[in-house]
Amino acid sequence: MSTTPGRKQIHLAAHFPGVNSTTVWADPRSGSQIDFSSFEHLARTAERGLFDFFFLAEGLRLREHNGRIHDLDVVGRPESITVLNALAAVTDRLGLAGTVNATFNEPYELARRLASLDHLSAGRAAWNVVTSSDAFTGENFRRGGFLDRADRYARAAEFLATARELWDSWTPEGRQRPFVHSGPQFGIEGEFTVPRSPQGHPVVIQAGDSAEGREFAASAADVVFTRHSTLEAGREFYADVKGRLARYGREPGDLKIMPGVTYVLGDTDGEAQERAGEIRRQQVSPQNAILALEQIWGRDLSGYDPDGPLPDIDPDPDSTLVQGRVRVADPVGVARRWRALSEAKGLSIRQTVVESTSRQSFVGSPGTVAAALEEFVATDAADGFILVPHLTPGGLDDFVDRVVPLLQERGVFRTEYSGTTLRSHLGLPEPVWKG
């Protein structure tokens, strides 16, 4: 790898723009959210940009709002691992990361599917371990029900530990040995039928910023996907999570911290700011503005005018209006802040939502954005970024064409892949085989 010695290297990943309010589907350039060609375009673009990996999120039940399927954002997506196996055929080096829930799967089957992906991609598989606690999603599954918040990490941790036992049940020399796992969550035994895969273990990603999530990441993950996308919050999170590693006998470099970030480019900073405003207005349609409000208030606010003032009633803290989404932690506090903003600047509902949400992480000319990314990594606010474009499938094109070359000039990003596996791109050690 031709890099400048001593400069901390940036890792980059591409998040397929999917089922969330940042994806702009109404733009004329917006393509299919389900055709394989869209996934292929984005993955090939990421590989052209020498990215570490391509990332797919997951949702196991369509989101509902007030008892009806939410229809304002992109709806629907393919099953992750199947798409990644197909993408392995049209890429050579790019890591392939899929989000798969540990609550609604079983270790034997998932460990087998992930090891299969690692074989079929010649060592490029990654698993983003997420957990779910809600009974709403459980209604699509045999196990149904839900888990207590604490139990879902207990299950995830034992799930991952069990998967690692299965991956280790073949010796590096290719000898298969029977396995037995007996724990509070899983009691299984037999023979794992997939020989040890090229990476030994697929790369493990953890997404979730809670204290339990951080501890789980420090104990067992290779990459953390965090929401902390400002410099200050990033540094604090970075120091906290890296500080937890020693307890598990791990080095700071063993865990990469990668915030999910959005970006807008322009020929000048001013032009980029202007475009950023346009994109935010595209993201927050009048209907989406009312919806965003309802997500905070937990009340039916369909009678309100998006171009009028905010409601003067308070949020309902016990609302069940919204299902299948992460809950807003402090709705009353958020409502108070939004009202204050609206009153101070004389903003309508829609303008308030545009101002308060969906602000892009990096906005500027390619040079400005490259410098900001470097600063984040150089000052230990991150080890890299999971970029979330707002357009499918061309949303990454300008970044790869215009920002990546500048990062390379600065000596902070690879100019060619030095290895073949995702582990090698991320500079992660081989997993220690525990026989």
Q: Which of 35, 251, 278, 307 is the binder for another protein (CB under 8 A)?
A: 35
The smaller minimum CB distance to another protein, of residues 137 and 352, is found at 137
Query: What values do phi and psi take at 271, rounded to 5?
Result: -65, -40
Q: Which of 78, 277, 405, 427 is the binder for another protein (CB under 8 A)?
A: 78
Helix (H) or strand (E) holding 138: helix 135-138
Using CB under 8 A as the criterion, what x/- string covers residues 81-120 for binding another protein? xxx-xx-xxx-------------xxx-xx--xx-xxx-xx
Report DSSP state, residue 277: H
What angle separates helix 231-243 from helix 211-220, to the nearest 10 degrees? 50
**Nearest distance in Å: CB 275, another protein:** 19
Whole-number Å distance between alpha carbons of 94 and 78 = 19
Whole-number Å distance between alpha carbons of 396 and 46 = 7
Whole-number Å distance between alpha carbons of 200 and 195 = 10
Q: Which of 172, 190, 270, 333 is the binder for another protein (CB under 8 A)?
A: 190
Whole-number Å distance between alpha carbons of 233 and 226 = 11
**Nearest distance in Å: CB 144, another protein:** 7
**Nearest distance in Å: CB 62, another protein:** 6
The smaller minimum CB distance to another protein, of residues 82 and 418, is found at 82
193 is a site residue for another protein (CB under 8 A):
yes
The smaller minimum CB distance to another protein, of residues 75 and 341, is found at 75
- Count other C-beta atoms under 10 Å from residue 346's C-beta: 8
Q: Which of 92, 140, 251, 307 is the binder for another protein (CB under 8 A)?
A: 140
**Nearest distance in Å: CB 274, another protein:** 21
The smaller minimum CB distance to another protein, of residues 198 and 309, is found at 198
Helices (H), 229-311: 231-243, 269-283, 286-297
What 3-state class would DSSP assign to 257? strand
Q: Which of 145, 187, 243, 429 is the binder for another protein (CB under 8 A)?
A: 187
174 is a site residue for another protein (CB under 8 A):
yes
60 is a site residue for another protein (CB under 8 A):
yes
**Nearest distance in Å: CB 150, another protein:** 22
**Nearest distance in Å: CB 364, another protein:** 29
Chain center to CA of 332: 27
The smaller minimum CB distance to another protein, of residues 285 and 415, is found at 285
Specify whether the CB–CB gap between 122 and 198 falls below 8 A: yes
Whole-number Å distance between alpha carbons of 232 and 382 = 11
144 is a site residue for another protein (CB under 8 A):
yes
**Nearest distance in Å: CB 172, another protein:** 12
Buried b (16+ CB within 10 A) or exposed e, 198-230: bbbbbbbbbbbbeebbbbbbbbbbbbbbbebbe
For the chain, the maximum distance between any two Cα atoms, rounded to a whole number of angstroms, is 70
Residue numbers of the site for another protein (CB under 8 A)? Answer: 25-26, 34-36, 40, 59-62, 68-69, 71-79, 81-83, 85-86, 88-90, 104-106, 108-109, 112-113, 115-117, 119-120, 122, 139-142, 144, 174, 186-191, 193-195, 198, 285-288
